[in-house]
Structures are given as structure tokens and as C-alpha cells.
């Protein structure tokens, strides 16, 4: 009996995984085929990007301040507080900035994508679009993926910049002048760190968009099912972000070495 249950779970898991990758392949192919639905892309970029700007700014500001405070406490006994700018920059740009921005966006945007598509599914709007001959992938999924691929790296850049500002605000109270703060940044940063700080959010944005769209398009069970699907999308996106971050970091470390 236990073996039968395990077998059923594994079959369901690999079936879902296969369908997930099938959706990814179809979406990537649809991104370069007409029609491109530019208006839908602009609408989604506004919803997914600009609407998440405030939460990313707030996250970057206070994370930068906390990082600067912790760095100052650790560096002060060694009279090395001039390096605080570099420590905040390398930590935020390489790691915390992309991950925290992605987690904030996953919680806000991932749930919104799933709920919107899930509602369209349970109210049979998606079926009506299929009857009209509309390609659901081109119309609903591809514009959201394009918007996330553009929006999340930009949001991460904003969060990183604000975090550096927050770090300086905290450092100023410890006698660190702007010149000293800025000069410490290139001592810790290299060009590959900037590349890593932009590649990660692009990958995370891809995961958030595809997970939200997949879960949303497979929603069942009416209004209750929409709520359950939104919760599943946020949890799954967050886990995928953290797991993928580890492997991306390993890859970049291998290239660096």
C-alpha cells in the first residue's frame, strides 16, 4: 500500500514537472512569434514593475542600513570602518539585493499573476479565448514573462542603489565621509560581481513568472481554488529562488576560480 502511494506521488510529481517544462518551451518559442501583444506587455510591466517599486525601495533602504551597522560593529575594533562601503556593496549587489528583491516580488507579483490567471480559468474566460482561436501562451503567458524579465533586474538595481544610500546614512553617524565610503566599494567589487547581480534577478524573474502562470492556468475549484493556487505559487517561487540562488552562486564561484 505504501509503495503504491509513493508511486502515485512520484508519477504526479514528474507529470507536473513535465507539464511545467512544456509550458516553458512553448512560452520561449512564443516570445519570438507574432503577434507580440505590445499593449499587454506594457500593462503587465506597469503592474509587475512599477507597482513593486515602493516595497523594493523600502527593503533596500533598511537592509543597507542593517548591513552597514553590522559591518561597522565588526570593523571598528580593527580600525577598518573605511571598508564599510565595500562590504555593503558586495553583499547587497551579489547576494542580498537580488534575493530579497525577488522574494518581495514573488510574494506580491507571483500571487497576483496566479490569482488573475486562476480567476480567468475558473470563470471560463480562458476557454472562451481558446474557442475564439486565441493562443493562450502568446496572449497571457509571454507578455508576463517579458515584463518580469525586464522589471525584476531594474527593481534589483534600484534596491541595490537605495541600499548603498541607506548604508551611507548609517555610516555617516560613525564619521565616515562620502569619499571614504565610495572609495571602499571598488576595493571589494569586480566586474563579475555586477554581472552576477544582474543575471540572478533575470533568472529569478523567469522563475516567478513561469511558476505563477503555470499554477494559475492549472487552477481548479472555484474561488477557494484560486486562493490555494496563489499560496502555492508564492511558496514554490520562494523555494525555487533560494535553491536556484545556491546553484547560480556555485557556478559564478567556479568561473571566478
- Three-class SS of 174-234: CCCCHHHHHHCCCCCCCHHHHHHHHHHHHHHHHHHHHHHHHHHHCCCCHHHHHHHHHHHHH
pLDDT band of residue 257 (cuts 50, 70, 90) is low
Whether 228 has a pLDDT exceeding 90, the answer reads no
Whether 229 has a pLDDT exceeding 60, the answer reads yes
Mean pLDDT of 29-42: 83
Verdict on whether the full-model pTM lies above 0.85? yes
Mean pLDDT of 111-137: 85
Phi-psi map region of 190: left, alpha, beta (phi>0 left; psi -120 to 50 alpha): beta
pLDDT band of residue 244 (cuts 50, 70, 90) is very high
Q: Which of 31-40, 69-78, 202-211, 246-255 has the highest mean pLDDT?
A: 202-211
Please give the Cα distance from 211 to 209 (Å, whole number).
6
Q: Are 212 and 233 in contact (CB under 8 A)?
A: yes
Q: What is the pLDDT of residue 245?
A: 92
Average pLDDT along the chain:
86
pLDDT top residue among 162 and 38: 162
- Candidate from 72-81, 108-117, 147-156 with smallest mean pLDDT: 72-81
Q: What is the pLDDT of residue 210?
A: 92
Amino acid at each position: 500500500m505504501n509503495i503504491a502511494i509513493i508511486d502515485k506521488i512520484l508519477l504526479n510529481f514528474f507529470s507536473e514537472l513535465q507539464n511545467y517544462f512544456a509550458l516553458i518551451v512553448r512560452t520561449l518559442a512564443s516570445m519570438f512569434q507574432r503577434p507580440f501583444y505590445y499593449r499587454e506587455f506594457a500593462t503587465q510591466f506597469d503592474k509587475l514593475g512599477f507597482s513593486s517599486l515602493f516595497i523594493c525601495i523600502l527593503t533596500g533602504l533598511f537592509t543597507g542600513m542593517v548591513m552597514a551597522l553590522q559591518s561597522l560593529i565588526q570593523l571598528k575594533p580593527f580600525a577598518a570602518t573605511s571598508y564599510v562601503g565595500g562590504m555593503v556593496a558586495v553583499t547587497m549587489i551579489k547576494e542580498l539585493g537580488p534575493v530579497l528583491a525577488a522574494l518581495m516580488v514573488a510574494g506580491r507579483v507571483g500571487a497576483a499573476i496566479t490569482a488573475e490567471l486562476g480567476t480567468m480559468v475558473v470563470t471560463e474566460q480562458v476557454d472562451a479565448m481558446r474557442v475564439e482561436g486565441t493562443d493562450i501562451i502568446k496572449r497571457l503567458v509571454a507578455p508576463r514573462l517579458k515584463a518580469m524579465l525586464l522589471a525584476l533586474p531594474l527593481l534589483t538595481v534600484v534596491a541595490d542603489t537605495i541600499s548603498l544610500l541607506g548604508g551611507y546614512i548609517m555610516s555617516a553617524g560613525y564619521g565616515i565621509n562620502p569619499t571614504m565610503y565610495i572609495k571602499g566599494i571598488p576595493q571589494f567589487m569586480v566586474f563579475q560581481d555586477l554581472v552576477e547581480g544582474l543575471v540572478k534577478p533575470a533568472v529569478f524573474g523567469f522563475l516567478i513568472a513561469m511558476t505563477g502562470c503555470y499554477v494559475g492556468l492549472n487552477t481548479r475549484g472555484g474561488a477557494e481554488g484560486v486562493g490555494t493556487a496563489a499560496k502555492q505559487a508564492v511558496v514554490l517561487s520562494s523555494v525555487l529562488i533560494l535553491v536556484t540562488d545556491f546553484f547560480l552562486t556555485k557556478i559564478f564561484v567556479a568561473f571566478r576560480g
